[in-house]
Amino acid sequence: MSTSLETIVSFAKRRGFIFPSAEIYGGLSSCYDYGPLGVELKNNVKKAWWKAMVQQRNDVVGLDSSILTPEIVWEASGHLQSFHDPLVECSKCHHRFRADHLLEAKQAEPGHMKEKPVDIKDIDCPDCGADLSEPQNFNLLMKTELGAVEGKKDTAYMRGETCQGIYLNFLNTVNSMRKKLPFGIAQIGKAFRNEITTKNFTFRTREFEQMEQQYFVNPKEADSFFEHWKEQRWNWYMKLGIKEENIRWRQHAEDERAHYAVDAWDIEYKTPWGGWGEMAGIHNRGDWDLSRHSKYSKQDLSYKDQQTGDKFIPHIIETSDGADRATLMFLVDAYDEVETRSGKGGTKHDKEVVLRLHKDLAPIKAAILPLSKKEPLQKLAHEVQAGLWGSCMTQYDETGAIGKRYRRQDEIGTPYCVTVDFDSLEDKSVTVRDRDTMEQDRVKIEELADYLKDKFK
């Protein structure tokens, strides 16, 4: 059974994953805040990405470049001239829409004949039915001003993508890290785009986080590294438990690709609102980026191969993932409603939610549950929790019946519940319950940290 987006939005708020931003003031459209469990989940997504892309490779290094960028960077990158979407505005309610999205939706309507092209002139405002304006190009970059003195302000831009900071530091990285081709630079950070329409929760927002890696190669090796990175990125989603039937590859058509892109593929997810949506992209960007920045900065960004003596502008294979989109898709993919698994006869309820997140992504790794609030059990349970503080994120919960507490933890994806009972006082052991199999192991308290470490290997 597929889960609706409304279910996920309300679940995410109710269980402390994602809240509407500035909600007590009515909210700010398309802005969201990650709550106590959401920040853990999103951090775990970013950690898993960093581990696979930087920590477990010798050929990729990390970077954290600034968000504010001078105007010339976006002139060199081509964004000032061509980073726009086609905007149409309603003549009556003045709501704005992306013309390409309206055309796509019209084309997908039942009964529409694929061979018959749709013209934007044939489409009325989806909100009030009035006429729409001619499409105009709307630039997505967010401009800001730096400086305290009125009239002496410098224009800067909030970066529209994190990769530009990587190109600007190509030379610094080669020189400081003695890097030789092929090598990559990876970065996680915020990007800003003045999207015309934002929708589908955290899937399309104006402020979002990207996880991007640029791999610099000899042009002769570009095709083989493109295949290598395609495989790596696909495997990353598979390893973290995304269901294979919910993702697919899509190659960009020639007229859809940026003019400099040699090849571009997206990893798409089967979205809860219908259709497939881009989660990540792998792009062969040729020598566009470093050539343009060489030209505009007047710095030589070419590379000399010490062995062959060849000098060339490196080509770039980019992997580009969205931290917010990935987090949302992991949440949707893991959300499972099951027939009641606990309780008997009359105490059974209709359904329970089990969030089947991969263990590495689960916000809480182990919940510590004393069977009673009685002093000796409470004390021992706190000691058990303190014994795990160095190794994993835990949560202490002593309120309500034990079955109810298991359900609360299943709902937020906690892989292990550690129950401290009266026997624990005698045998210095606890019961560990597995979220998915519901099997229980009796484990010595002094061996608990190693037992869990083994589970998270």
CB 67 to ligand ATP: min, Å: 15
Q: Which is nearer to ligand ATP, 213 or 429 (CB)?
A: 213
**314 lies in the binding site for ligand ATP (CB under 6 A):** no
Instruction: Give min distance, CB of 197 to ligand ATP, in A.
Output: 10
DSSP H/E element including 341: none
The whole-angstrom distance between residue 372's C-alpha and the CA centroid of its chain comes to: 39
CB within 8 Å of 211: residues ≥ 6 apart: 46, 49, 53, 186, 187, 188, 320, 321, 322, 323, 326
Cα torsion 316, 59, 300, 305 to 10°: value is: -100
- Looking at 278, 336, 398, 411, which residue binds ligand ATP (CB under 6 A)? 278
Residue 288 CA to residue 314 CA, distance in Å, equals 9
User: Residue 179: which of 217, 208, 212, 210 has the closest Cα?
Assistant: 217
Q: Is 279 in the site for ligand ATP (CB under 6 A)?
A: yes
The residue nearest ligand ATP at its CB is 322
Shortest distance in whole angstroms from residue 46 CB to ligand ATP: 13
Residue with the two structure tokens 């003195």 = 149
Q: Which of residues 164-223 bind ligand ATP (CB under 6 A)?
A: 193, 195, 204-205, 208, 210
- With contacts defined by CB under 6 A, name the span among 254-262, 287-295, 318-326, 334-342 that binds ligand ATP: 318-326
Q: Which is nearer to ligand ATP, 195 or 221 (CB)?
A: 195
CA distance between the termini of the chain: 31
Cβ nearer to ligand ATP, comparing 31 with 443: 31
* Residue closer to ligand ATP (CB basis): 46 or 407: 46
Give the interface segment with ligand ATP, choosing from 53-61, 233-241, 317-325, 387-395 (CB under 6 A): 317-325
- Nearest Cα to 247, choosing from 223, 280, 285? 280
Tokens of 269: 């997810």
Question: According to the binding rule CB under 6 A, does residue 320 interact with ligand ATP?
Answer: yes
Cα 351–chain centre separation: 29
Residue 38 CB, nearest approach to ligand ATP (Å): 15
The contact set with ligand ATP (CB under 6 A) reads: 161, 193, 195, 204-205, 208, 210, 278-281, 320-322, 324-325
